[in-house]
Structure 1
Amino acid sequence: MKARRNESSKKPRCGGAAAAWLLVPLLVLIVLKTDSLPHLARLRETIVTQVSVETVSEHELRSKVSSSGLEREKIWQQQQQLVEAAKFKDAERLPKTTDSVAEAPPSPASSDEIASHGVDGIKDLKDEKNIVAMNGEVDGSLRNSDVATPRSSKLSCNFSSERMDVCAMDGDIRVHGKSATVYVVAASNDSYRPENGTVTIRPYSRKWEISTTMQMVREVRITTDDTAPQQCTVTHSVPAVLFSTGGYSYNFFHTMTDLVIPLFNTAREYDGHVQLLVTDFDRTTIFKLRHFLGKLSDFPVIDLDADDAVRCFPAVRVGIESHKELGIIPALSRKGYTMKDFQDFLQSAYSLKRAWATPANRSSGQRPRLLMMQRRKSRALTNEEDALAAARDVGFEVVVAGPEVVKNMAQFAEVVNSCDVMVGVHGAGLTNLVFLPRSATVVQIVPWGEMKWACWSAFRDPLPDMGLRYVEYEVTADETTLKDVYPRDHAVFTNPLAIHNEGFGKMWSIFLEGQNVTIDIGRFTGVMRQIYQFVTIS
Structure 2
Amino acid sequence: MKNKSSKVPPVLSCNFEDYRSDVCEIYSNVRIHGNSSSIFFTPDQTMDLEENKTRTIKPYTRKYDNYAIANVRTVTINPLHTSTEAPKCNKYHYITAIVFSKGTYSGKNFFHDFSDVLVPLFITARQFEGEVQILMADLKPVWIEKYRKYFNQISNYEIIDFNKENQVHCYPRAIVGLYSHGDFTVDPLRTPNNYSMVDLAKLMRRAYSLERDFAINLAEDSKTKPRLLIIARNQTRKLINVGEVVALGEELGFEVAVNESSFRTNVGEFARMVNSFDVILGVHGAGLSNEVFLPTNAVVIQIIPLGNLHWISFNYFGLGATNMKLKYVQYCISEEESTLTDLYRRDHAVFRDPGSFHSQGWGAMSKIYLDQQNVKLNITRFKPVLTRALELLGYKNYVTWPDLSFCDN
Structure 2 length as normaliser, TM-score? 0.89
- Equivalent residue letter for 1:426: H
Moved more, 455-464 or 292-301: 455-464
2 CA distance for matches of 1:178 and 1:283? 17
Q: Superposed, which structure 2 residues align to 1:85-234 within 5 Å?
A: 154-184=11-41, 186-191=42-47, 197-209=53-65, 211-226=66-81, 228-234=85-91
1:315-368 CA deviation, whole Å, 9 max, x = no partner?
Answer: 111011111221112222133222222222222222222222131369853100
The gaps in structure 2 that reach 5 residues or longer are: 1-9, 397-409
* Aligned residue among 301, 305, 324 for 2:163: 305
- Equivalent residue letter for 1:218: R
Contact 1:382 1:518 in 2 (8 A): yes
- Equivalent residue letter for 1:177: G
2 CA distance for matches of 1:395 and 1:265? 39
1:275 Cα offset (Å): 0.9
Moved more, 417-426 or 338-347: 338-347
Does residue 280 of structure 1 match 2:172?
Answer: no
SS at match of 1:360: coil
2 CA distance for matches of 1:427 and 1:505? 16
The gaps in structure 1 that reach 5 residues or longer are: 1-152
Contact 1:155 1:193 in 2 (8 A): no
Contact 2:216 2:226 in 1 (8 A): no
CA RMSD of aligned residues (A): 2.0
Does residue 269 of structure 1 match 2:137?
Answer: no
1:350-409 CA deviation, whole Å, 9 max, x = no partner?
Answer: 222222213136985310011110101100011111111211121111122213487211
Larger of the two Rg values belongs to structure: 1
**1:384 aligned partner:** 242
1:108-139 CA deviation, whole Å, 9 max, x = no partner?
Answer: xxxxxxxxxxxxxxxxxxxxxxxxxxxxxxxx
Structure 1 length as normaliser, TM-score? 0.68
SS at match of 1:335: helix
- Equivalent residue letter for 1:214: I
**1:484 aligned partner:** 342
* Aligned residue among 344, 364, 376 for 1:518: 376
Q: Superposed, which structure 2 residues align to 1:325-474 within 5 Å?
A: 325-360=183-218, 365-404=223-262, 407-474=265-332
SS at match of 2:194: coil
1:193 Cα offset (Å): 5.7
Contact 1:370 1:420 in 2 (8 A): yes
2 CA distance for matches of 1:321 and 1:363? 42
Contact 2:31 2:87 in 1 (8 A): no
1:196-233 CA deviation, whole Å, 9 max, x = no partner?
Answer: 72101111111222x22211211111000348443212
**1:244 aligned partner:** 101
1:47-80 CA deviation, whole Å, 9 max, x = no partner?
Answer: xxxxxxxxxxxxxxxxxxxxxxxxxxxxxxxxxx
Q: Where do 4+ consecutive residues of structure 1 move more than 6 Å?
A: none
Instruction: State the number of aligned residues.
Output: 384
**1:38 aligned partner:** none
SS at match of 2:122: helix
Contact 2:185 2:319 in 1 (8 A): no
Q: Determine what percentage of the aligned residue pairs are the same residue.
A: 38
CA 239–533 in structure 1, closer or farther in 2 if over 3 Å, else same: closer
